[in-house]
Chain A
Amino acid sequence: MEKQLALQMRGITKRFGGVIANKQVDLDVYRGEIMAVLGENGCGKTTLMNMIAGIYFPDEGKIFVDGREVVIRSPKDAFANGIGMIHQHFKLVDLFTAAENIVLGVKEKGKYNLKAVNARVAQIAEKYGFRIDPQKKIYDMSVSEKQTVEIIKVLYRGADILILDEPTAVLTPQEISRLFSVLRRMKEDGKSIIIITHKLNEVLEVSDRVAILRRGEHIATVETKDTNENELTEMMVGKKISLNINRTEPKNAAPRLFVKNLNLYDAEGVHVLRDVSFTACGGEILGIAGIAGSGQRELLESISGLQPAVTGEIIFHNPKKNKPVTFFHKSMKRVRELGAQNAFHDGKGNPVSFQGMRPGAVRKWVESGDVLFNEDEIINLRHRTPLQIRELGVRLSFVPEDRLGMGLVGSMGITDNMMLRSYRKGRAGFLDRKKPRALADEIIQDLEVSTPGVNTPVRRLSGGNVQKVLVGREIAFTPKVLMAAYPVRGLDINSSYTIYHLLNMQKENGVAVIFVGEDLDVLLELCDRILVINSGAVTGIVDARTATKEEIGLLMTKTDDARKEEAP
């Protein structure tokens, strides 16, 4: 069959201030094909597509639809040319039904007839195999249903060039395969589909051709059947890169953190964690999988003391029996307290209480390594604030999801951000910037952070560098438990692999790593066990070496009772 050109872009350039988002991009899209636009985060994929959809106006270049030059100044112009875009963040009115959202803003002749709209929506849905109830309100819908509404909205307006921005980022594997089958039916109907993505396996699965962008430039367009993952990665990154995560067998994995029947309610009284129980072991990576907003963040925050759980236990187990006490994370005050509680012996079975001793003498004795614990330390972290947890000497590190809003202070430099964890040290009321400065230099060097200087506000660094600073700091305090929420979100491939490598090193050092992820392929490759959470309840814990994506996908949407409607 002779292929017919649907859309041509010639010499498209777009600048934002001094930053060039797209540079002389040429792109062709044919009728009846699925074209993937592939590139790393920040390479200009979305900007390029926004220019076709009328969100931005190109600085230079021309756009042709069906061989005819067009000017697209607004989304309205785009629709007039049969172009519709489904954005990553849905633009729907929550209080309206699906049909009302679909018809919103469409100028049709005649009376507003919702019944006719419903019928037409149902007809479109049937044609392409969507499952949708036109009269359902948006606030009752799952993410995948909302996406369906967005797609039908575009089709309803007669678009035959559809652009989907990262459509799979928020879907489960089952939902993804359903989306792909819908896309294939649309393709057979002669529509042109452009999907923006950075996931290679999806590109290979669904697309006919792939256009690769790198730093705003169009590198190449290749036929999907003639290429493979390694070749695509190389074009995306600009150099050869190994995509293997080196997973070792856990060595002497011992339980470190016991979470038992944790329950948490948020400010509105919604039950966000339901009887969550699990054990995290030192020397292994425990993955947490689930649809976004299923309670992952709340779980980590309640373990770290930021959101006090209502009921349940969080037990930190420190295997210290007959091991020496150190001042590394325990203060003099805490060591004396423990001494008074008869927790130590001197190696010969005699109790050590430090009674009546001067601080200098206590310090000398402890530092000689002759003061040993009687038993393993067992500390309940529930109802402790983050500061109390630290003062108890529990080495718990947490890389939160919101890096600049929670993990770091955006307006401060790397040195001052290092200080966040340690500024209280030292007796005087003044700050000691020497050690944080040394740590900052160390992290910049070891993790190859690219920054103009240690005092450049971290807000100005790229996402990957921000994350290296944050993870670097959390690891620098030699944690026993390291929790990381979406640590590679928004990162380029190189930085992502740096982070995986760091987590693996921590695992080998015997740290209990808890990794909240969204990419199931990565979870399956990196973790030892995967806990699946849905609506705040654990729906399963599987062995990552044997589990499949489909299995986890089912657990992600599994509900143990009728409290939530089954996702369509």
Chain B
Amino acid sequence: MSQQSVKLHEPLVHLSKRDTIAPLKAWLIRLAAIVLGLVVCGLVAFVLIEKIQQKPEKIWDFYNAFIRGSFSTPRKLWKFLKNLSILLCIALGLTPAFRMRFWNIGGEGQTLVGVLGAIAVAFYAGDRLPSWALLTLMLLAALLAGAVWAVIPALFKAKWNTNETLFTLMMNYVATFLVSFFLEVWVTNGSGALPKLKQAKLPVVGGNDYLLIILVVLALDAALFVYMNFSKQGYEISVVGESVRTAQYVGINVRKVIIRTMILSGMLCGLTGYLIGAGLDQSITANSVGGQGFTAIMVAWLGKFNPIFMILTSGLIQLLNQGAAQISQDFNVSGALPEVIVGIILFFIIGSEFFINYQVHFRGCGKKTAKGGKAA
């Protein structure tokens, strides 16, 4: 081997971790990823629709439908904003926990028990209380239920260092079956569907059913931003998240912070449950949250746990959902297509983080600093 006469080179591609990247460049990479994702989606959808319908469509129609999904009528726009808010609200709930590196993936369950708490109060006390008292009691029940659901894994984590990811995940299933159980008890006619509890409805503000929810979530967003960045408790959360040993070193009671933060996290999810229960459905099913508790994890991650960025990421995901639904309606294709589209775009967005964290060097580009490649 030592007598090799051919000069050997480095491998074709090698990666190195970036230590810093200009924020502008990072955002450009993300934007490029979204654009590229949309292009690929367009091509995929175009090919698939053509195959099914046997008639060529202009590729532009696809994007047109995509945008119309959220913006073509005021009703769709309101729906877009409402869905954005609900999703954002759960993501806000997860944020304090995530900042603490406590991987709370139980937002779904914590929100669902929030709905359950609110609806249970309305079911048992709906006829006996004045409207304001009922709504207040429902709110308290939702907050309490969410907090309890979140604090159980936190207590186990603080006391026995159990894995919070598995624990919070399992709590989701418990919540789902708990709702099924109550529906069995409450609904005696065998239909399994709880009729709307009319008295449990939040007042309409500004002539629109959704405006109150949107305003509440916006206010929460701002409040959480301030809490995380300017309060002592928010600072403690950041320290614990970054290094438990540093926290102990400066005398922060780590257990207390974990439990306190998870109560807050659960209460915010419970509040979302209240908004769903009292603000929208006035009823409950095991699917009331509809997987948004999981989608919210992505919203929080993509938004870098920053409540302001999270408005954008929540909007993006909602845009994808509604746009994809519109496509499947307009082109009369199966409901699986929207999921394919959402999947492709998220793949690109998450993939772009790789190029933000790493730099790709190609052989022969040794002289100048190689630019991060864009192929996912």
- Chain A contacts to B: CB under 8 angstroms: 15-18, 57, 59-60, 65, 68, 70-71, 73, 76-77, 80-81, 304-306, 385-390, 398, 400, 402, 404-412, 416, 419-421, 423-424, 429-431, 460
Contacts and interface: CB of A to CB of B under 8 A. Distances in A.
B1 A400 contact: no
B142 to A, nearest CB: 24
B246 A408 contact: yes
Given A71-B7, A386-B250, A410-B242, A80 B2 contact: yes
A409 B243 contact: yes
Which of A71, A304, A385 has most chain B Cβ within 10 Å? Answer: A71
Contacts of A412: 238, 242
Contact of B369 (A17, A81, A398, A409): A17
Contacts of B4: 70-71
B251 interface: yes
B243 A406 contact: yes
Contacts of A390: 251
Interface string B239-253: 100110110111111
Q: How large is the interface on B (under 10, 10 to 19, 20 to 34, 35 or more residues)?
A: 20 to 34
B1 A80 contact: yes
B365 to A, nearest CB: 11
Nearest to B249: A406
Interface stretch (B15-23, B49-57, B180-188, B291-299): B15-23
B136 interface: no
Contact of A398 (B1, B232, B233, B249): B249
A127 to B, nearest CB: 25
B160 interface: no
B230 A405 contact: no
B235 interface: yes
A424 B252 CA distance: 10
A385 B246 contact: no
B19 A460 contact: yes
Would you list the 10 A-B pairs with minimal beta carbon distance, nearest first? Answer: A387-B251, A386-B251, A406-B245, A409-B242, A420-B250, A80-B2, A17-B16, A71-B8, A406-B249, A80-B1
B349 to A, nearest CB: 23
Contacts of B253: 385, 387
Contacts of A405: 243, 245-246
B366 interface: yes
Given A385-B253, A405-B243, A460-B19, 17 more contacts: A17-B16, A17-B18, A17-B369, A65-B2, A76-B1, A81-B2, A306-B249, A386-B249, A409-B242, A410-B243, A416-B235, A429-B231, A429-B233, A430-B231, A430-B232, A431-B230, A460-B20
Contacts of B231: 429-431
Interface of B: 1-2, 4, 7-8, 10, 16-20, 230-233, 235, 238-239, 242-243, 245-246, 248-253, 359, 366, 369
A426 to B, nearest CB: 8
A400 B16 CA distance: 30
Contacts of A400: 249
Contacts of B10: 57, 59
Contacts, number: 88
A558 to B, nearest CB: 32
Contacts of A406: 243, 245-246, 249
Contact of B235 (A81, A421, A423): A423
Nearest to B358: A17
Contacts of B8: 71, 73
B172 to A, nearest CB: 30
Contact of B366 (A59, A77, A416): A59
A110 B313 CA distance: 64
Which among A16, A68, A306, A406 has the highest number of chain B CB atoms within 10 Å? A406
Given A410-B242, A423-B235, A429-B231, A306 B250 contact: no
A118 B248 CA distance: 49
Nearest to B250: A420
A410 B8 CA distance: 40
B357 to A, nearest CB: 12
Contacts of B251: 305, 385-390
A422 B230 CA distance: 15
B2 A423 contact: no
7 contacts: A77-B2, A386-B251, A406-B243, A406-B246, A406-B249, A429-B231, A429-B232
Contacts of A408: 246
Contacts of A424: 232
Contacts of B20: 460
Q: Which residue among B7, B10, B242, B359 has the maximum number of chain A CB atoms within 10 Å of its CB?
A: B242
Given A71-B7, A410-B242, A430-B230, A386 B248 contact: yes
Given A80-B2, A409-B238, A420 B232 contact: no
Interface-centre pick from A305, A400, A409 (highest chain B CB count, 10 A): A409
B203 to A, nearest CB: 31
B158 to A, nearest CB: 16
A407 B232 CA distance: 19
A369 to B, nearest CB: 29
Contacts of B1: 76-77, 80
Nearest to B9: A57
A553 B238 CA distance: 43
A388 B252 CA distance: 11
Given A17-B16, A81-B2, A431-B231, A420 B246 contact: yes
A431 B235 contact: yes
Contacts of B17: 17
Contacts of A70: 2, 4
B261 to A, nearest CB: 14
Contacts of A420: 239, 246, 250
A398 B369 CA distance: 42
B302 to A, nearest CB: 19
A80 B246 CA distance: 47
B298 to A, nearest CB: 22
Nearest to A76: B1
B156 to A, nearest CB: 19
A288 to B, nearest CB: 19
Contacts of B19: 17, 460
A389 B18 CA distance: 41
A344 B153 CA distance: 48
A451 to B, nearest CB: 13
A429 B231 CA distance: 6
A397 to B, nearest CB: 11
A423 B233 CA distance: 10
A223 B145 CA distance: 77
B17 to A, nearest CB: 8
A419 B235 contact: yes
Contacts of A65: 2
